Structure 1
Amino acid sequence: MLFLRAAALSCRGLPALRCLPAAYTGSRTTANVTYIQGQSPVPRIREYFYYIDHQGQLFLDDTKVKNFVTCFKDIKFLIFFFSRLCSNQSGRYEEDFPFLSLCGRERNFVRCDDRPIVFTHLLQSPATSPGITGITGDQELLSYCGGAEKLSAPFRPEALYMHPVSGRVYHPCSERGGGVGLVRSALAIELSPFFVYATEHGQSGQPTHFLWGGQKHTLTNELAGCFPTAEEGSGQKDELG
């Protein structure tokens, strides 16, 4: 993991070199938590801290300027990192970094702007999909967090859910990734013309159907229960995605 991280960091360009763990000596305070990248709370254990934005880009949490230049882009590293992502039940930083990606003696703590799984592209599944269970060659995939088909989930158009307050669009993902993935704004905008709304409410209400593949899919809204009730009833409408 250390080798993959170093290789990935080297691809981010000179402005990001200051974020190399080996060169980082100061501490970082986020809300009520303080840490040092690469800290060793017990012998032979190292801890690192990451952040995922609403575009699905992965950063070291203490990166000051978070954009496409400073995010991790090495596909092998991203696949390795996200394939090991799970809920943080380590007893450390659980409230501030609710997800964890383990690699041997490394603990990689993760927090996110919205959801750790962010779907970025809609792909046609390859004829053969090694490592992707239960997917046939003609099935569409939602790819997430820069991993192409190696990080993907079968696209279920009926399961798309548009949040009534934020307007963001969500789709189911694996339980390890939290069960709910965010659809990146650019992809959500591409999908938005296919939502169908009840005539009496127009686009001010919730969509009821989704037109896809020559079919009119009834939206199940199965993800509605994954959001707190207070979140459903307050706040301003956000940009789509």
Structure 2
Amino acid sequence: QLFLDDAKVKNFVTCFKDPSFLRSFFSRLEPNRSGRYESEFPFLSRCGRERNFLRCDDRPVVFQELLPGIPGGNGRSLSYGPGLSVPFQPERLVVFPGNGRLYHPAPERAGGVGLVRSELA
């Protein structure tokens, strides 16, 4: 879920829900090497001249759903937003012993590793 940084209450009601905005935001996500707010906001999403800075509890990419393969296609994929997915590579799933969470490769621009949502794991 994506929230404004200054939102006091963070829940489904206060999160961004517009699929086209979320697709645009997450497809432009990259490490913050802008020289501004790098320690507070390790990622950013550029939209024209606008910079949307992002901080997250763990990883910026959270895989929400395992999508079925298309007959004759490449197989299953993991979705992390509207119209955004990566090929599912079960052999590359990793449990981090420090927190017990499950991770999967994500787009390199978005940090290279994504968290698998606990309900999906």
Using structure 1 for the length normalisation, give the TM-score: 0.49
- Give the % identical residues: 68
Q: Match for residue 94 of structure 2? A: 161
Q: What is the rounded CA distance, in whole Å, between the counterparts of 2:100 and 2:15 in structure 1?
A: 26
> What displacement does 1:76 show?
0.6
2:83 matches 1:139: no
Where do 5+ consecutive residues of structure 2 fail to align? none
> What displacement does 1:178 show?
0.2
Where do 5+ consecutive residues of structure 1 fail to align? 1-56, 128-135, 189-241
Q: Larger relative contact order (C-alpha < 8 A, sep ≥ 6)?
A: 2
Question: Which of these two proteins has the greater Rg computed from alpha carbons?
Answer: 1
Q: Match for residue 4 of structure 2? A: 60
Q: Match for residue 43 of structure 2? A: 99
Q: Match for residue 60 of structure 2? A: 116
SS at match of 1:107: strand
Q: What is the rounded CA distance, in whole Å, between the counterparts of 2:117 and 2:103 in structure 1?
A: 9
Q: Letter of the aligned partner of 1:176 in structure 2?
A: R
SS at match of 1:60: coil
Deviations 1:177-199 (A, max 9, x none): 101100011111xxxxxxxxxxx
How many residue pairs were aligned? 121
The structure 1 segments of at least 4 consecutive aligned residues displaced by more than 2 Å after TM superposition are: none
Deviations 1:32-60 (A, max 9, x none): xxxxxxxxxxxxxxxxxxxxxxxxx0001
Written as runs of structure 1 = structure 2, the 5 A alignment for 1:1-241 is 57-126=1-70, 137-144=73-80, 146-147=81-82, 150-188=83-121
Q: Letter of the aligned partner of 2:51 in structure 1?
A: R
Q: What is the rounded CA distance, in whole Å, between the counterparts of 2:97 and 2:52 in structure 1?
A: 33
Q: Letter of the aligned partner of 2:62 in structure 1?
A: V
- Of residues 117-126 and 169-178 in structure 1, the stretch that sits farther from structure 2 once superposed is 117-126
Q: What is the rounded CA distance, in whole Å, between the counterparts of 1:125 and 1:85 in structure 2?
A: 26
Q: Match for residue 3 of structure 1? A: none
Question: Greater share of helix residues, 1 or 2?
Answer: 1
Q: What is the rounded CA distance, in whole Å, between the counterparts of 1:72 and 1:166 in structure 2?
A: 27
Using structure 2 for the length normalisation, give the TM-score: 0.95
SS at match of 1:81: helix
Deviations 1:97-138 (A, max 9, x none): 0101001110100000000000010002446xxxxxxxx724
SS at match of 1:170: strand
Change (3 A) 1:172 1:166: same
